[in-house]
Amino acid sequence: MPHAPAAFPAARLRRLRRTAALRDLVQEVRLSPADLIWPLFVTDVPGADVAVPSMPGVVRLSVEGVVRAAEEAAGLGIPAICLFPYTDPALRTTGCEEAWNPENLTNRAVRAIKAAVPEVAVMTDVALDPYNALGHDGLVRDGVILNDETVEALVRMALAQAEAGADILGPSDMMDGRIGAMRAALEKAGHRDVTILSYAAKYASSFYGPFRDAVGAGAALKGDKKTYQMNPGNADEALRLVARDLDEGADMVMVKPGMAYLDICRRVKDTFAVPTFAYQVSGEYAMLRGAVAQGWLSEAVILESLLAFRRAGCDGILSYFAPEAARAMA
């Protein structure tokens, strides 16, 4: 148990807040650029380098653009980036075949980044929604999202990304059994060192709207994702999901969204003591960016919000604020 302080005036807790030097000496949790993963949107259709309207300051980049962004990340001390594709609508099908095409947009971008900036870790998204004509993370039949058939497709997608040179695979689909199937396939194919950062506790959240705009899945989505993403009212279930994914071979786990689910981050870290990440998702970014732009909040809330993830037990944070935050910490 923490030791109780002496009674006032022997204990004046403000003593340690009196100067900046004292405050810095006793700060319990710190934030650095090394704690960040920068999510990037890549496209090869018209619209590259154009801001996403619901995410001011965030743009879809060409392959050449994400290479430049990776170089920027390296210069800022950000160790990893995460790629999300805006796929040509003509390539989106109900079978999602483009997802495991070795020459698809994501795989070409991975190869280009690793050739130019090999020291930056490249994380990829493993889910079918950017390739699905129906906007879902899984294959759909008669309005039902298929689990086992989707897992087979995700394995093919994961193998193609690993072959392209991805360092970290981020399964974000929330299908049952996908981590075990991916890990077994990666081992069999010789990709033994590819890391899996599982979106283990991904909630059916209303905070994802701007992201769906950015990858072009929002308009295509038929129905909702509540049969596979988590109920926001559940916490114990998150621990069961994390335990399962770790047992199946996940190296790291993620909670998504982040700011509204810091209690889940803390419970995951305290329970499992494994590398734990959170995603400061598009809606959270848009709220803070909009409030700062209106002058309702100062830019200081950006670093404060990221520090909250670290205080809640997160080892790292995916955030669209990553480069801005890294520059502020320089």
pLDDT band at 215 (very low <50, low <70, confident <90, very high): confident
pLDDT band at 316 (very low <50, low <70, confident <90, very high): very high
Indicate which residues carry an active-site annotation. 202, 256
| Residue 98 domain boundaries | 31-329
Mean pLDDT of 154-172: 98
For the chain, the domain total comes to: 1
Does residue 285 lie in a domain region?
yes
Between the alpha carbon of residue 154 and those of residues 100, 127, 175, 290, the distances in Å are 8, 7, 10, 35
Does residue 24 lie in a domain region?
no
Instruction: Note the pLDDT tens digit of each residue in 53-87.
Output: 899 999 999 999 999 999 999 999 999 999 999 99
Residue, of 193 and 53, whose pLDDT is higher: 193
What residue type is assigned to position 288 of the chain?
L
pLDDT surpasses 90 at 115: yes
Does residue 67 lie in a domain region?
yes
Residue, of 167 and 330, whose pLDDT is higher: 167
Does residue 246 lie in a domain region?
yes
What pTM does this model have?
0.95
pLDDT band at 209 (very low <50, low <70, confident <90, very high): confident
Does residue 139 lie in a domain region?
yes
CA distance 133 to 93: 5
pLDDT band at 214 (very low <50, low <70, confident <90, very high): confident
Does residue 83 lie in a domain region?
yes
pLDDT band at 222 (very low <50, low <70, confident <90, very high): confident
Does residue 12 lie in a domain region?
no
Instruction: Note the pLDDT tens digit of each residue in 276-310.
Output: 999 999 999 999 999 999 999 999 999 999 999 99
Instruction: Note the pLDDT tens digit of each residue in 240-260.
Output: 999 999 999 999 999 999 999
Does residue 21 lie in a domain region?
no
Q: What is the pLDDT of residue 213?
A: 81
3-state secondary structure the chain: CCCCCCCCCCCCHHHHHCCHHHHHHCCCCCCCHHHEEEEEEEECCCCCCEEECCEEEEEEECHHHHHHHHHHHHHHCCCEEEEEEECCHHHCECCCHHHHCCCCHHHHHHHHHHHHCCCCEEEEEECCHHHECCCCCCCEECCEECCHHHHHHHHHHHHHHHHHCCCEEEECCCCCCHHHHHHHHHHHCCCCCCEEEEEEEEECCHHHHHHHHHHCCCCCCCCCCCCCCECCCCCHHHHHHHHHHHHHCCCEEEEECCHHHHHHHHHHHHHHCCCEEEEECHHHHHHHHHHHHCCCCCCHHHHHHHHHHHHCCCCEEEECCHHHHHHHHC
Q: What is the pLDDT of residue 218?
A: 63
Q: What is the pLDDT of residue 304?
A: 98
pLDDT surpasses 90 at 3: no
Q: What is the CATH number of the domain that holds 263?
A: 3.20.20.70
| Average pLDDT of the residues of the chain | 95
